[in-house]
Structure 1
Amino acid sequence: MINKTIFQGLIIGVAFFGLWFGLTQVNFVKFFEIEKRTTSAENKIGDLIWDDIQQTGEVVTNDTIVKTLDKLINPICKANGIERDSLKIHILKKAEINAFALPNNHLVVYTGLITDCKKQEALQGVLGHEIAHIENNHVMKKLSKEVGLSVLLAAASGGKGGQIVKEVFKTLSSTAYDRALEKEADMQSVKYLLKADINPEPMADFMYELAQKHDIPSGFGWISTHPESEERAKYILDYLKGKKFQKKQILTQKEWDDYKKQVENY
Structure 2
Amino acid sequence: MRKIVLQGIIIVVSFFCCWAVLSKVDWMDLLQVKKATVKTEQKLGELFWDLFRKKDKEIKSPKIVGPIDSLVSKICKANGIDLSKVKLHILEKDEINAFALPDGHLVVYTGLIEEADNAEELCGVLGHELAHIEGNHVMKKLIKELGLTALLSVTTGQHNPELIKQAAKLLSSTAFDRQMEKEADVKSVDYLLKAGIDPLPFADFMYKLAEGNADADKYFSWISTHPESKQRAEYIVEYSKSQKKKGFKVRPIMTRKSWETLQDKVKTEKSDLDTEL
Normalising by structure 2, report the TM-score.
Answer: 0.86
Q: Which residue of 1 aligns with 2:78?
A: 79
* Pairing 1:1-266 to 2, within 5 Å after superposition: 10=10, 11-17=12-18, 28=27, 32-213=31-212, 216=216, 219-242=219-242, 243-244=244-245, 245-266=248-269
Relative to structure 1, the CA distance from residue 133 to residue 27 in structure 2 (aligned partners, 3 Å threshold; closer, same or farther) is closer
User: Structure 1 residues 218 and 70, CA, compared in 2 at 3 Å: closer, same or farther?
Assistant: closer
Change (3 A) 1:217 1:9: same
Contact 1:37 1:153 in 2 (8 A): no
Aligned equivalents of 2:130, 2:267: Cα separation in 1: 24
Paired residue type of 1:153: L
Cα root mean square deviation, aligned:
2.7
The amino acid across from 2:265 in the alignment is Q
Gaps spanning 5+ residues in structure 1: where? 1-5
Equivalent pairs, count:
261
User: What residue ranges of structure 2 are gaps of 5+ in the alignment?
Assistant: 1-5, 270-277
**In structure 2, distance between residues paired with 1:145 and 1:218:** 29
Q: TM-score, normalised by structure 1?
A: 0.89
> What is the Cα deviation at residue 219 of structure 1?
4.6
Shift of 1:261: 1.4
In structure 2, what residue type is equivalent to 1:238? E
Task: Provide the secondary structure at the position in 1 that maps to 2:89.
Answer: strand
- State the Cα distance separating 1:246 from its structure 2 match: 2.1
Q: CA deviation at 1:48?
A: 0.6
SS, match of residue 106 in structure 2? strand
**More displaced, 43-52 or 6-15?**
6-15
Q: Secondary structure at the match of 2:107?
A: strand
Distance 1:29 1:62, change over 3 A: closer
Q: What's the CA shift for 1:118? A: 0.3
Deviation of 1:69 (Å): 0.5
Query: Aligned with 1:250: secondary structure?
Result: coil
| Residue identity in the other structure for 2:234 | K
Q: Quote the offset at 1:220 in angstroms.
A: 2.7
Q: Hey, what's the Cα distance between the residues in 2 that align with 1:27 and 1:194?
A: 36
Task: Give distance in 1, aligned partners of 2:224 and 2:268.
Answer: 26
- 1:174 offset after TM fit, Å? 1.2
d(CA) in 1 for partners of 2:174, 2:15: 49
Identity %: 48
Q: CA deviation at 1:39?
A: 2.0
Contact map agreement 2:198 2:251 (CA 8 A) in 1? yes
Aligned residue identity for 1:156? T
Counterparts in 2 of 1:13 and 1:121: CA distance versus 1, 3 Å: same
Residues 192, 30 of structure 1: alpha-carbon distance in 2 compared, 3 angstrom cutoff: closer
The answer to whether the Cα contact below 8 Å between 1:95 and 1:219 also exists between their aligned partners in 2 is: no
